[in-house]
Amino acid sequence: MCLPKHIAIIMDGNGRWASERGLPRQEGHRQGVKILKKIIKKTSELGIKYLTVYAFSTENWKRPDHEVNFLMKLMERTMASETDELISNKIKINFIGRRDCLAKELKEKIKDVEKSSRKNDRLTLNIAFNYGGRAEIIDAVKNVIDNDLQADNISEDVFSKYLYQPDLPDVELLIRTGGDKRISNFLLWQLAYAEMFFSDKYWPDFSADDLQNAVTDFCNRERRFGGLKNAGDN
Ligand code: IPE
Ligand code: IPE
Ligand code: MG
């Protein structure tokens, strides 16, 4: 059976979803969390092993203070209300991103949930929060230098061990909702050979069936990784 091992999602369009309904942008973010729960459930039911979702980028600090504050609180509240269920469903939860500038309470919650879910193995859920692909690469370079690695000993495999999640496999399927076709600084290293699936739906309108369609679409693609079609025929 064809299944991508690692799906990554840029959950975009919450604000526009709300504005089109005459609602404050915050409502879009609240609705977005509800949809995320459904998508996590579906991902886990399908038997996919890794799901990485983009919740807050290193560039999202540019938004008005009230929206940034709301998103920080929403993450804290969502963790308080949802993690028990995720953990009982055998989901391992990791956060990727820069933690230093997050509020102390949030940092503590992140640590707690990572610790209490670390033995779970049904699905690994990575929440990209205060995450930037370039920041991740720079942090990895610093880590390499701090560990006194010599240039001759650095390969792609070695370097990837210094990223936020050393054992994270490459993304096979990237989904972006909201109609835009760009990466917005997400997982630059891990997306090298990902198949891209862009949906015009806003994230709060995305459904389990849409996820299924994206997976089916992925399974019909021909992946060549720089090689030739039907490699091995000659
Ligand atoms: C994505 O939705 C969620 C975050 C970036 C936190 P947006 O808030 O970017 O929604 P749009 O793109 O403005 O509609
Ligand atoms: C990407 O969405 C970040 C998240 C979904 C968290 P943005 O709305 O921030 O991306 P741009 O600004 O349209 O590129
Ligand atoms: Mg957006």
Q: What is the pTM of this model?
A: 0.97
d(CA 186, CA 190): 9
Find the catalytic residue in 12, 94, 126, 210: 12
Q: What is the arithmetic mean of pLDDT over 86-93? A: 98
Residue 126 catalytic?
no
Q: How many CB atoms neighbour CB 188 within 10 A?
A: 14
d(CA 230, CA 99): 45
Alpha-helical segments (H) within the chain: 14-20, 25-46, 65-88, 104-117, 133-146, 156-160, 208-219
Domain boundaries defined on the chain: 6-219
Beta carbons of 139 and 98 less than 8 angstroms apart: yes
The architecture in CATH of the region 6-219 reads 3-Layer(aba) Sandwich (3.40)
Ligand 1: residue whose CA is nearest its atom 6: 56
Evaluate if residue 234 carries a pLDDT over 60.
Answer: no
55 lines ligand 2 (CB under 6 A): yes
Report residue 52 as tokens: 């990485």
Give the model confidence (pLDDT) of 94-143 as tens digits: 999 999 999 999 999 999 999 999 999 999 999 999 999 999 999 999 99
* Ligand 3 geometric centre to CA of 18 (Å): 12
CA distances from 83 to 28, 202, 221 (A): 21, 25, 35
Beta carbons of 146 and 115 less than 8 angstroms apart: no
d(CA 205, CA 13): 9
Ligand that comes closest to the CA of residue 29 = 1
Find the catalytic residue in 60, 120, 143, 185: 60
% of the chain surpassing 70 pLDDT: 98
pLDDT confidence of residue 232: 56
184 lines ligand 2 (CB under 6 A): yes
pLDDT confidence of residue 215: 98
Evaluate if residue 153 carries a pLDDT over 90.
Answer: yes
Beta carbons of 218 and 4 less than 8 angstroms apart: yes
Give the model confidence (pLDDT) of 196-209 as tens digits: 999 999 999 999 99
- Tell me the DSSP string of 123-180: EEEEEEEEE-HHHHHHHHHHHHHHTT--GGG--HHHHHTTSSSTTPPPPSEEEE-SS-
d(CA 144, CA 205): 42
pLDDT confidence of residue 1: 80
Residue 143 catalytic?
no
Q: What is the arithmetic mean of pLDDT over 44-68? A: 98
Instruction: Write the DSSP symbol of residue 97.
Output: S
d(CA 11, CA 119): 27
The sign one gets for the Cα dihedral 165, 61, 63, 81 is: positive
**Ligand 1 neighbours (beta carbon < 6 A):** 11-16, 56, 60, 71, 178
